[in-house]
Structures are given as structure tokens and as C-alpha cells.
Amino acid sequence: MSSSSSSSPSTSDEETLRRSRILKSKLYLDVPLPKVPIVYSASYDIAFLGIEKLHPFDSSKWGRICQFLISDGALDKKCIVEPLEASKDDLLVVHPESYLNSLKSSDNVARIIEVPPVALFPNCLVQQKVLCPFRNQVGGTILAAKLAKERGWAINVGGGFHHCSGEKGGGFCAYADISLCVHYAFVQLNISRVMIIDLDAHQGNGHELDFAGDRRVYILDMYNPGIYPFDYEARRYIDQKVEVMSGTTTNEYLKKLDEALEVAARMFDPELVVYNAGTDILDGDPLGMLKISPNGIANRDEKVFRFARERNIPIVMLTSGGYMKSSARIIADSVINLSQKCLIDMGKNGA
């Protein structure tokens, strides 16, 4: 059992309230079978008077991934699953009200998403143009776990806000979608063991803080220790830490990943894998500082999916970070490769 599930009355009351909120949530939609477990909504994409261009993240990446998949004939637009926006009650499953109230300050949001001019705008506009797209992506991550349990796999074309914990946002991450996804799975899917495989270039300090000491969750985090967030406290809560230094090349990276997955398989037997598949490991990414090729990213994703699928473990993939315009094309190509290797079935090519 989780060390957080202590016998103190206040903790017990919090767990009861959390469970009640999850059971009342509308986010676990029933999805008809003709739909493919790829989750996306046009409301994911952020367009805010051009100000979004002041952050290196490509805030139209999510829509462009789907456009590539559709134009390549790999995905039928009508088969995409559209999630609901996470409500305040949904978010309260992990976030205290004080944190959600702090997002009513444009100044706080500007700090979290690292775009200082956002502080100058009325909060109603910031909610509409920035936080609403994030809340839709949170709904997508949560729904993806249900789809993965039903279909074996699911990809949320957004999400992966791994720097946000229940108490604190940062690094372009305003809501803790990974922590929320896991808690919903515990209650709604009758799952008690989750493995988070975080292969974004940055350390996933948000979910690490949220699941500190929780033995139901096993975290494998492969990250560059020489870049943001330098969260040494959160590093103490990583079950399997694999540090990859700036300049690490494709072959070295994939060898380390193979070894890490072998260890993870021996250490933990999960009922769900949450895979945070950031593409900021790409050679040339201004923030990740690694040197992984586009083919290397496809190989990485294939290895993680093979790890889960060969063991019949449902897997949720989130796209997370990636700070080059080429990321969308590379993610689409990787998803197509997963389909061609029969690791996912998008209903188009007999995969």
C-alpha cells in the first residue's frame, strides 16, 4: 500500500474526498469501437496574439502531429477521440484549491509558462487562451488511461506536463496531468501498480514529488542532469534514475534505454505504463542538449511500446516536451512506425 495511505483521520478523509471526486467525474467517456485510441482536440493548440512564440515550445505542435497523420493516410480524422476539458473538481483530485486560485493571477501563470508578457493580460483572457487548452489536454491524458485499459494502448497527442506537482507549476506545466491520470486509474480502473517511464530530456520532478514514497508507483526517469529543473529533492524519489549527459548520442542513449528497461522489468510488475515521450532529446533541441536522431526517437518509442505490449501491459503515451518545429513531423513518423511494427492499430493499414 502507499505510504501516503496512513491511518490518520485527515489523510483518510482526503482519500475519501479524492475518490468521490474521481467517481463523479465525467472525463471517462465511453468511446465507440470505430474510434482509434488517439486523443486530440483542436482546443489543445495555443494561439495568443503571437505571444506564444516568445517561448521555444511549439504551441501548435499537437495539431500539426494530427495533420501529418491524416495527410499521410495513417489516421482517419473521424476516428480521433476528443476529450472533455478537466473541471475544477477534476483538478482538485490532485491540486489544492490554493494552487488553483493562484492561477487566477496572470503574473503567476506567466511565471509557470515562462512567458513574462502574459502577466500584463487580464486573467479571463489568460484562462481562455492558455489554461483552457491545458485543461483539455489534462482531460485527454486522464481519458487515455481508460482507453489503454480497454484497447491495450492509447496516445494523447498532448499532455505530459511532468514539471507540475499538485502544489506547484513550472516549466510550461500548469496542471499535473500525469499524477491525475494515475489517481484516476487507481480508482476507476481498479489498478494498483503503475510504472511511469519518463524519457523527456528534463527530469520529471512534478510526478516524482506527488508520488514520493508511494510504492504503487514505480518511476523510471532518464534525463539530462545538467539542465532544468535541478530538483534534487525530487531526484530522491526516482525509483530508477538514468542520467544522460549533454552530448549523448543515439547509440549510447538506446543502449542505456535497453539496459534500463531490462532492470525495470525485473524490479516492478505494473498494470499500466504511463510513457512520457518528450522529443527534446532530439539533436539540435535548444533545451534538451542531447544528440538523438529522428530515427533514434522512433526506435526509442518502439522499444518502450514493445516492452509494454509484449507483457500485455496497457500503455499511455504523452508527447510532452520538444522545442524544435521538426518535432511534430518526428512524432507523427514515430507513431506511423509503431503502426507498421504492429505495436498499435490505427485501423488504416492492417497493423
> Which residues are part of the catalytic machinery?
163
Find the largest Cα–Cα distance for the chain.
55
Q: Report CA dihedral (222, 325, 308, 260) to the nearest 10 degrees.
A: -20
Q: Is the peptide bond before 34 cis (omega within 30 degrees of 0)?
A: no
User: What does DSSP say about strands 194-198 and 315-318: parallel, antiparallel, or unpaired?
Assistant: unpaired
Count, residues in the chain: 351
3-state secondary structure of 240: strand
DSSP H or E run through 275: strand 272-276
Angle between helical axes of 294-309 and 250-267 (0-180°, round to 10): 10
Q: Residue 246 gets which letter from DSSP?
A: T
User: What does DSSP say about strands 272-276 and 315-318: parallel, antiparallel, or unpaired?
Assistant: parallel
Alpha-helical runs (H) found in 56-168? 61-71, 88-91, 97-102, 106-113, 123-126, 132-151
**CA proximity to 91, closest of 10, 172, 184, 188:** 184
Residues 6+ apart with CB under 8 A from 260: 220, 222, 240, 242
> Distance between CA atoms of 114 and 261, rounded to whole angstroms?
33
Quote the distance between the C-alpha of residue 91 and its chain's center: 15
> Distance between CA atoms of 199 and 320, rounded to whole angstroms?
9
> Distance between CA atoms of 56 and 172, rounded to whole angstroms?
10
> Distance between CA atoms of 170 and 204, rounded to whole angstroms?
11
> Distance between CA atoms of 84 and 41, rounded to whole angstroms?
9
